[in-house]
Amino acid sequence: MIKKNQNASLIFHIIRFSVRLRKNGDSITQKYGITAQQWLILLLLSKDPNIIYLQENPQDKPMLAKELATAMDVSRANITNLLNLLLRKKLIRQIADVDDKRRKRLTLTEKGKIIIIKLETERYKRNQRLFENYSKIEKEEFINFIKNGLAVIKYDLGG
């Protein structure tokens, strides 16, 4: 039978935390008619400096759908569906790449920028409440824990 194991328990706590973060994000975004996943796309397009992908892959140009799929670790089909919804809601728009007109880059519309600004206030408030009992050092240690874990997982997956 399976024995109690602190490492396995830690993984299940991380999974539960992740699920609850997604639900929390959805509760914030639903009043604007978007999901947490769609919000993440808007944050990526707004070049949120807190996003790991953007720290590791600085963007000079607006992003391509392929780059968004990589950043969010989702399939190309999934990102296409998400982008089509955001295009219909007029939160993003496609523009031709200056070097290759066949490639479409994505930018926020004014409506998308307004939603980002409104959501930022709520995100800040909820993040403050979530982390108010932790010191700056504890938060840095947690970031390092996650970074190290991601590096091990990347190595295990052959990347």
pTM, two decimals, is 0.90
Where residue 47 falls (left for φ over 0; alpha for ψ -120 to 50; beta otherwise) is left
Domain range spanning residue 50?
6-115
Q: At 36, which CATH number?
A: 1.10.10.10
The answer as to whether 74 is a domain residue is yes
Based on the structure, what is the number of domains in the chain?
Answer: 1
Gap between the Cα atoms of 14 and 21, Å rounded: 10
The answer as to whether 127 is a domain residue is no
The answer as to whether 151 is a domain residue is no
The answer as to whether 147 is a domain residue is no
The answer as to whether 120 is a domain residue is no
pLDDT values of the chain reduced to their tens digit, one per residue, 159 residues: 999 999 999 999 999 999 999 999 999 999 999 999 999 999 999 999 999 999 999 999 999 999 999 999 999 999 999 999 999 999 999 999 888 888 999 999 999 999 999 999 999 999 999 999 999 999 999 999 999 999 998 877 776
The answer as to whether 140 is a domain residue is no
The answer as to whether 146 is a domain residue is no
Tell me which residue has tokens 């978007």.
34
The answer as to whether 92 is a domain residue is yes
